[in-house]
Chains A and B, each alone.
Chain A
Amino acid sequence: MESRVFHHALKIQKEQCIGCSHCMHVCPTEAIRVRDGKAELFENRCIDCGECFRVCPVNAIIIEQDDFNKIFQYKYRVALLPAVLIGQFPEDVKASQIYNVLLDLGFTDVYEVEHAVDVLQNAMQNYAKRNEDKKPLISSFCPAVIRLIQVKFPAMVDHIILLHPPLDISALYYKQKLIGQGVDESDIGIFYVTPCAAKIAAVKSPVGEDKSPINGVINMDFIFNKVYAGVRKGDFSQNDDSFKENLSPEATVWSLTNGEADVMKGRCLAIDGVHNVMDFLEKIENEEIKDVDFLELRACDESCAGGVLTTTNRFLTVERLRKRARFLSDNKEKRSPNDMINYTQFINQGIELGKIKPRSMMKLDEDMAEAMRKMRRVKEIMKCLPKVDCGACGAPNCQTLAEDIVQERAVINHCIFIQRIFEKKGIIEWEQSYEIMKEIWGNDKLNRKC
């Protein structure tokens, strides 16, 4: 059973927040308002895409990670990396160096999650064959997209491929591998180095399963700084000479745009960027776009290379990973076989996701007659509002303010245009308008020497 309260990795730190409303304007699901000079989050609308995090000018929005020292609670400390971590570094930093620094930091094992692609790819092709009626099939790769579909496109949830993403599969495999070596399960800690907030939410509050196999999450920007410092120092106490590239070229670029669409069969499309994804889902939902077999949808521009916790320019990351994939494709003899293939049977037993339920937040009321009454009121209110979407009311646009008013979360004189009209008509005094603006934007902004 999924809980009704959703874990969000994104947290607004009220002390840091200056109430500038940048985040409110970019939020694709209208989940943010400004009250009392601070940004406020409607938790059940948030999809953890991290757009707010990108635009915050004062770093008041943080992505909550696990304490790094948590890894030392375990005897076996596995770092699961996404390939984009390697892509964060300039080319003269070798993958083996990155691995070695991670071992120096305290991990006992380092493993790239994309190894799972070699197993997952077959499972996805088989799934597509079994589920012709559910086309277009939508990849379950991006957790922000899954949440977006649940919240805004409930009719599309049945199209999501119910297979675990590479991250979960790698965790399952690595645990099993260690258990096979006689390690006690409670001694194994699996930690994921995440390029985004959505993956954290997916671990802490998984969709379509009860519990994630991952024990903790560490932000990629944090690891990047640590690793880069270690690489520059250049002396590695732990030298993992056994390091050998064994990712397949397809796996290396899986998390980039077209990574999945290039290998799936039939008419496959790759869409990246949360607004592009929303536009596309609108058209797919209306059946304006038909006869698509597979959709790769990623919330970030340039997919995981553009994750909110990445440090390097996304295009440089793409460049490095594509080069790496080309190298691996041209030098097959340098690759060692992917051991995970030997676990295919085991993985296939646990690869399926449970049912994903819609959790639409769009309905105005559970009772349709009441919803219609509210909609009529929204329509009436919209006739009064200026439709300039200035955001001075603390809501991202006039429509949202109107909806907030009927849901009793705001009042009409939150609108500065309405305030002027009411003042002219003598309905309110300017002092009242001043107080209203103070309630929304806080004492600070209204108490300045000008």
Chain B
Amino acid sequence: MAQYLILIYEDEAAWATAGPEGYEQAMKEHTAFGHANGAALRGGNALQPTGTATTVRREPTGSFSVTDGPFVETKEALGGYYLVEAADLDEALAVAKQVPAPFGGVEVRPVQVFD
């Protein structure tokens, strides 16, 4: 078995206009997803919008620059993730296809194993 991180990228502006009904619907869908895939799920979280993000980089001088905002500004931003266990990529993709992401999509990344 292997672990995969499913990163959820969505348009934050679309979420902002979706309203309370939109959030409620999404919560329902994620709950249903969690029930359907409980055996594979190893973790997951929703993230607050990129407006709350802070980026930290070490400068060549050794000091740190701390800036407001996400690491990269994109229309569709990382908004949440699931960690899943799967035998292979096909199994991970089958789970990924069920992740609710009405305003974007998901990226599937295998977790690096060190031995």
Is this pair of chains taken from one and the same complex? Answer: no
Report which B residues bind A (CB closer than 8 A): none
